[in-house]
Structure 1
Amino acid sequence: MTSLSTPPLRNDGARRADIDRIIEIACSTAALIDCRRDQIRDVLTPIATIDSVDTEIADSIDLLNTAGVEYAAYRQADPETQLRVFLPANNLLYSLALFVALPSLFCGNVLARPASRVKSAYLELAAILSDGPIDIGDRMRTYSQATFAEISQGSVVVFSGKPENGRAVDKECASGLFLGFGTGINPIVIGRDLSGPELTNAVEATVAARLYNNGQDCLCPDAIFVDAAVADEFVAALVRRLATIPVVSTGTTPGLISAPLADMTTYDRAVAELDTLESALVWTGEISADDRHCPIGVAVRRLPEIARSVPELFGPIFNVVVYDHLDQVVDFLDAPETEPYGMYLSVFGVAELVGVDRVGSARNTGARTAFEFENGHEPFGGFGSNGTISAGVGREPVARPLLLSAELARYAAERGGVDAQR
């Protein structure tokens, strides 16, 4: 089996051999994931829908099969970097691929702590992949957060989760470099320029984005801004489409589904948000007999009626906000209360926003949802401090899109760079 140890690179021939070695290890890991997809599904479908699990599998395979794309950036980083990863409670396999397997191809000191709620699932995934060229299990630590923070002192720390928890972790770890992947509103804007098939396509994109993994993802849109000129038509089409979504008792049914949420904590949180929106609800779906089944809900309010701080709706909830003029939406997204949550903004039928790179702190993805836009080899997120942020001891926190390899290369350059012969 090809070794993960990092050889010195003294000439072009050595570099070519190193690239080939990295690609071989990465592709072998991808092949193992492909071969064991049924076992991976068995682990993840109790906490995620089968479609989202298959997306994770496909994205993880693609990420590793194309690992060479980031070779130059990772080779500018210090291979002795002490990297500590606080893994999230969702997107388990993809998080392992992105934040553990990929950097382990280049850095020898990578350790990760699984989120407590899904620790057993992470360990099962690690066991499934343990005989591959990257022993994921060897990099996992099931310590308490406090203990893991102790062994992370001064490290490069990657944290995925609630931004307030991330700030606490950064402080606990006295991070040399802290990379926080938090949450954003990721709104969709529906403009007056839509009609007929274009409006139908926008409805379909909205449903697919909001119901990805039954709404349990930080990229799901927490607000859908709709021009008053098309609001009635959009909401009617949205409700018609949602009425066709199968209501099932497990996440193993393919396609967009209404299924039980991952755990009671997530369920309680989603139901509390539904209760808050009760007076604005225009439609709610059915539920199964499962105790964790939150119904799909559609709430409709006018923009002046909503608070500037939009909550993360970690469940199957459609928060439709009707506006009269686009300036209202732009002002809302640029407000101090909203600015920290800027990640992505999807736009359908708004001529004024075509070609505009960002609105407030959110990157404009055009007529693509955040899920369609995101690429593991490209910087993730936007410019909101609760979305993606670079920080650490003695550093001025900077909110910007983040790519781990690029941040590690930048960090090495700040510290004087790595061996010039590498």
Structure 2
Amino acid sequence: MTQPSMPVLESLTRTWPDIEAAHERATGAGAALLHGRTELLAALTRLATYASARDELLRSLRAVAGAPWELARTGVPQLSRLSVVLPQHTALYSYVRHCLVPALYCDEVVVRPTPRIRETAYEVHRTVSRGLDPELAARIRFTDAAQRDFTPVCAESDAVVFTGSAETGRQLMTETGDGPLFLHFGYGPNPLIVGPRAEPAAACRAVLRARLHNSGQDRLCPDVLFVHRLRLDALVEQLRAELSVLTVGARRWPDAVLTALTYGEAVEGAARFLAEHADRVVAGGGADPERMQVEPSLLVFDEDPDFHPPQLAGPLFCVVPYEDPELLRAWARHPLELERGMYAAVLGEPRLTGRTLGTAVVLRDATPFDIEDGNQPFGGYGVRAAGVRREGRLIGRPLLLSHEAAQRRTVITGPLR
């Protein structure tokens, strides 16, 4: 009589999510999102443009629909408690990805929204939970605890998901101790590269769609545009023309492209950046902190691999010319960029080969918004962009909670559908 292998023996000691129940609950969650879409859009447009809020709703629906497939694919075991710190933006999508989908395989999800997003996050939870399976809804619990009071909750969790600055994330990771699985989702500059073979009109549209998502307040927006000199003049002129006719309005206007920014710090940061680089502005350049408005602004810099912009919010387009792709590789090798590498969108530049540029994942003829999928790993290999704690240190790589939880338990078998 043959003996079963260790992975099979180990799997018998695990508690697994009920995949059939996950199918039913995910279907109900999708229906809850659709039923409450009017209320959800009203809540989301406190922080986002109507177009980006609608996009967020649709991405959330897709993530819920793909959740049972995600659980079966990753082989995630049942977890006891997950602690989550929600980010400042994307209240619904972050709630779905980090709270609602994990509730399918976690007994308890304790959620601490950052103060800026708290009111919207609570409204999202109330709206969605009304239509959820009662057992699933009961697994998600919100808390108003201060960071110092939330830390002990995190320390007693199986896993912690934190979205925000690397400094705050590392502090929380240290204070929670080595027990929980710790995932940090951060930010990156997400360079968009317009190569010599890019068609200027198509490239201009891709740049506008990526940089102006939610008026430029999304962490996937590109903070720097590297443009080959063969396409520089054409792209700059097209951008200048397009920026002059953008629709400015209230967040709830369906056709508004630009609205007032959400946070004063974002406007102040944009104003400082524009003032520091006033000699590079070729269009726009204004900021009004009282009205929370930043004028759509186009800046053209020198061909320089040492341009490393801060995290920018608002309709700011920073163009850096290049000829030799070695400049792009040198830029990506800088220690700062190695830490914050997330995505690099490459349009029409065949000389950039490979899957990564530094630590950023290369996207061919696509932007991060084109490939973002709530059931797949997110981010790049920079520890400030996406990091998981392994053996006491943060390792940068694209992250998905269910995948990391399964890897941590070294589980091979489990539910297959």
How far the C-alpha of 1:209 sits from its partner, in A, is 0.3
Contact 1:188 1:346 in 2 (8 A): yes
1:4 alignment partner in structure 2: none
Q: How does 1:76-225 map to 2 (within 5 A)?
A: 76-77=76-77, 79-131=78-130, 132-133=132-133, 134-135=136-137, 138-155=140-157, 156-175=159-178, 176-194=180-198, 198-225=199-226
Equivalent residue of 1:217, what SS? Answer: coil
- By how many angstroms is 1:136 displaced? 7.2
Deviation of the 1:324 alpha carbon: 2.7
Deviations 1:372-393 (A, max 9, x none): 011111111111111001116x
- What residue in structure 2 maps to residue 228 of structure 1? 229
How far apart are the structure 2 equivalents of 1:178 and 1:191?
Answer: 38
Deviation at 1:109, TM superposition (A): 2.1
Q: RMSD of the TM alignment (CA)?
A: 2.5
Q: Which amino acid counterpart does residue 394 of structure 2 have in structure 1?
A: P
* Aligned-partner Cα distance in 1 for 2:330–2:306: 13
Q: Deviations over 1:358-412 (max 9, x none)?
A: 11111111110011011111111111111001116x4232111111110010112
State the distance in 1 between where 2:139 and 2:103 align: 12
Q: Residue 80 and residue 310 in structure 1: after superposition, are their counterparts in 2 closer, same or farther (change >3 A)?
A: same
Residue 286 of structure 1: how far off its partner (Å): 7.7
Distance in 2 between residues matched to 1:217 and 1:136, nearest whole Å = 30
Report if the CA contact (8 A) 1:330-1:360 is conserved: yes
In 1, Cα distance between the equivalents of 2:241 and 2:25? 48
The residue type equivalent to 1:95 in the other structure is: S
Deviation, 1:75, is 4.3
Name the structure 1 match of 2:362. Answer: 364
Partner of 1:395: 392
Q: TM-score, normalised by structure 2?
A: 0.89
- In structure 2, the CA distance between the partners of 1:308 and 1:243, relative to structure 1 (3 Å rule), is closer
Q: Which residue in the other structure is 1:258 paired with?
A: 258
Q: How far does the alpha carbon of each residue in 1:74-110 deviate from its partner, in whole angstroms, 9 at most, with x for none?
A: 6432x23321111101000000100000010111021
Tell me which amino acid in the other structure corresponds to 2:248.
V
Alpha-carbon distance between aligned partners in 1 of 2:267 and 2:148, rounded to the nearest angstrom? 27
In the alignment, residue 329 of structure 1 is paired with which amino acid? L
TM-score by length of 1: 0.88
Query: Distance in 2 between the 1:341 and 1:420 partners?
Result: 35
Deviation at 1:289, TM superposition (A): 10
Higher mean C-alpha displacement, 280-289 vs 383-392:
280-289
Q: Matches of 2:322 and 2:201 in 1, distance apart?
A: 20
Partners of 2:108 and 2:140 within 8 A in 1: no
- Does the 8 Å contact 1:123/1:137 carry over to 2? no
Judge conservation of contact 1:154–1:174 (CA < 8 Å) in 2.
no
The 1:382/1:420 distance shift into structure 2, 3 A limit, reads closer
- What is the distance in 1 between the residues matched to 2:256 and 2:382? 30
1:185–1:310 contact (8 Å) kept in structure 2: yes
Count of equivalent residues: 399
Q: Which residue of 2 aligns with 1:411?
A: 408
Q: Secondary structure at the match of 2:330?
A: helix
Q: Does 1:317 align with 2:316?
A: yes
| Residue-by-residue CA offset, 1:233-267 (whole Å, 9 max, x unaligned) | 1100111112221122x112224612100122222
Residue aligned with 1:139, SS: strand
Segment drifting more, 167-176 vs 376-385: 167-176
**Percent sequence identity over aligned pairs:** 29
* Structure 2 residue aligned with 1:380: 378
